[in-house]
């Protein structure tokens, strides 16, 4: 085999990996590390609040279940939005995106309402005890990330209203933006499990 052959046969085009996808995946990886610190801290403090309001007395499932259903189903509606965009159906895209945004808003307002009740009726604040500290930090940081995801989706929605979204060119970009929304949902599943299921075991009882 001549040198030239060896050389040319060795040059292969590397598979074009989308830098937007890799960038968003890295961002989500980083955010996962951030949340894992708060989740582990929450886990560590379960059952370590001898005084003050207790999870079993404070947290009620009714409202938070509605919120959770809204947030989780918004993951489905956002997928429907992206699929509509890929088909070129702008009307359906805007509709599903609007539904997603409304569901996200419901989650944020619902969380706010829940907090209002906790502060006013149960007297649970960030300063109450370890439970209050951890509850508001974890749920609050998650809600903050929902807000960021919501701003992202609203931005896409406004762009689409003014005709800046071109289905052929942009459906992948919009898809990547929605990865963040799915991530926020997955984090909520973990937060919900930890705070409202694992964390509501009676205090002092072996967990």
Partner 1 sequence: MTIGSGHSSLAPLPGPSPRGRFWELVMQWAISVDHKKLAMMYIGAGLIFFLVGGIEAAFMRLQLAQAGNNVVDPATFNQLFTMHGTTMVFLVGMPILLGFGNYLIPLMVGARDMAFPRLNAFGFWLFIFGGLLLYFSYVGADGLYGAGTAPDVGWFAYAPLTSRTFSRGNSTDYWILGILVSGFGSMTTAINFIATILCMRCPGMKLMRMPMIAWMMLVVAFLVLVAIPILTAAQSMLLLDRTLGAHFFDPETQGSAILWQHLFWFFGHPEVYILILPAFGFVSEIMPTFSRKVIFGYPLMVAATVGIGFISLGVWAHHMFVVGLGPVLDSFFGATTFLISVPTGIKIFNWLGTMWGGRLQFTTPMLFVTGFVAMFVIGGLTGIMLATVPLDWQLSDSYFVVGHFHYVLFGGTVFGIFGALFYWFPKATGRLLDERLGKWTFWLLFIGFTLTFMPMHVSGALGMPRRIYTYEVDRGWEIWNLISSIGVPVQMAGVAIFLWNVVRSLRKGEVAGDDPWDAWTLEWSTSSPPPEWNFDRIPTCTSARPLWDRKHPEDPDAHYE
Contact 114, 95 (CB under 8 A): no
Using rule CB under 8 A, residue 166 touches partner 1: no
Using rule CB under 8 A, residue 172 touches partner 1: no
- Taking the least distance from each CB to partner 1, the nearer of 11 and 168 is 11
Using rule CB under 8 A, residue 62 touches partner 1: no
Binding mask 17-46 for partner 1 (x = CB under 8 A): xxx--xx--xx-xxx-xxxxxx--x--xx-
- DSSP3 helix / strand / coil % (the chain, rounded to 5): 80, 0, 20
Instruction: Looking at residues 88 to 127 of the shown chain, list those that interact with partner 1 (rule: CB under 8 A).
Output: 126-127
Quote the CA–CA distance of 90 and 74 in Å, as a whole number: 18
What are the distances in angstroms from CA 36 to CA 8, 29, 45, 201? 47, 11, 14, 21
Strands of the chain (E only): list them. Answer: none
Structure tokens of 1? 């085999």
Using rule CB under 8 A, residue 189 touches partner 1: no
Quote the CA–CA distance of 52 and 75 in Å, as a whole number: 37
Using rule CB under 8 A, residue 13 touches partner 1: yes
Using rule CB under 8 A, residue 155 touches partner 1: no
Residues that bind partner 1 (CB under 8 A): 3, 6-7, 10-14, 16-19, 22-23, 26-27, 29-31, 33-38, 41, 44-45, 48-51, 126-127, 129-130, 133-134, 136-137, 141
């Amino acid at each position: 085999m001549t040198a030239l052959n060896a050389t040319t046969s060795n040059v292969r085009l590397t598979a074009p990996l989308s830098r937007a996808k890799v960038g968003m995946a890295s961002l989500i990886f980083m955010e996962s590390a951030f949340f894992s610190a708060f989740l582990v801290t929450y886990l560590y403090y379960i059952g370590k609040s001898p005084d003050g309001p207790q999870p079993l007395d404070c947290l009620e499932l009714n409202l938070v279940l509605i919120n959770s259903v809204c947030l989780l189903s918004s993951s489905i509606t956002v997928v429907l939005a992206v699929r509509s965009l890929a088909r070129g159906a702008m009307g359906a895209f805007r509709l599903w995106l609007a539904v997603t945004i409304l569901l996200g808003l419901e989650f944020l307002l619902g969380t706010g309402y829940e907090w209002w009740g906790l502060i006013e009726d149960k007297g649970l604040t960030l300063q109450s005890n370890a439970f209050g500290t951890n509850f508001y930090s974890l749920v609050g940081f998650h809600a903050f990330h929902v807000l960021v995801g919501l701003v992202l989706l609203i931005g896409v929605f406004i762009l689409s209203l003014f005709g800046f979204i071109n289905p052929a060119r942009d459906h992948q970009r919009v898809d990547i933006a929605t990865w963040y929304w799915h991530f926020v949902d997955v984090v909520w599943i973990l937060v919900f499990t930890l705070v409202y299921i694992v964390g509501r075991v009676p205090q002092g009882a072996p967990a």
